[in-house]
Amino acid sequence: MNHDLPAAQAALQAAMPRDQHPRTMPERDIALTWGELVLAQGEAGLALQMAEHLLASAPGLFPGQSPQPIPHLLKLKGEALMILSHLDEAVEALEDAKRGAVARNARPVLWTIHRSLGRAYQLLQRKDQARQEYAAGLQLVEELVTTITDASLRDQFERAALDSFPQEKPPLPREAARQAFGGLTAREREVAALIAQGKTSREIADLLVVSERTAEVHVACQCETDEKIRRTI
């Protein structure tokens, strides 16, 4: 996480060589960390292979039994798939990871899964879902912060966690104005005010110094917006 990848590799190599087959749960944890390291080193294909191997060799399965979602491994798989541009498969793996983390109440990994899912949905241009995942992850970070009693560790975690989320860009002035007035532009607000006064399209055209056809278009758009609002209510 400090981007000192050579030192991380040396530490892991001393604990267990990368190619060694894990036989115990601690060794499987080390193998998972090897997968995270090679992903950080840019070897997404190898990280995916390692994640799939660990998932396929998960202990405690009976013949024909479906494996339970393993959050950390599925997160690694999803992140590797995302880097490899297999976005739909990445979302599927990360959604499974989220389901497993929720079932285990594994909040320390769940917030990172929300963050990765947000990135995947963002790449798929599914912006609403991306925002939902980011918001859920940030909410979990806030909850976890309150459980850390050591002030120094609490501040370090909060700063590092929040910095790992994308910083939302402020809207452009025109977009900010639209958001502030229910999505209406300045001209659309003018038209709405004139409609409320009972003005006709011809009168609106004269007041706004536009053609009657243009005024009619504005009026039609405003009426359509009003109808949508009524249906929602």
173-232 belongs to which CATH class? mainly alpha
Domain 5-163 of CATH type 1.20.200.10: no
Q: Look up the pTM and report it.
A: 0.69
Q: What is the 3-state secondary structure of the chain?
A: CCCCHHHHHHHHHHHCCCCCCCCCHHHHHHHHHHHHHHHHCCCHHHHHHHHHHHHHCCCCCCCCCCCCCCHHHHHHHHHHHHHCCCHHHHHHHHHHHHHHHHHHCCHHHHHHHHHHHHHHHHHCCCHHHHHHHHHHHHHHHHHHHCCCCCHHHHHHHHHHHHHCCCCCCCCCHHHHHHHHCCCCCHHHHHHHHHHHCCCCHHHHHHHHCCCHHHHHHHHHHHHHHHHHHHHHC
Q: Where are the domains of the chain?
A: 5-163, 173-232
The C-alpha atoms of residue 24 and residue 185 are separated, in whole angstroms, by: 63
Structural tokens at position 188: 């659309």
pLDDT of the chain, 233 residues: tens digit per residue = 788 999 999 999 999 999 999 999 999 999 999 999 999 999 999 999 999 999 988 876 555 555 678 999 999 999 999 999 999 999 999 999 999 999 999 999 999 999 999 999 999 999 999 999 999 999 999 999 999 999 999 999 999 999 999 886 544 455 545 544 555 556 666 777 777 788 787 787 777 666 666 656 556 665 555 554 455 44
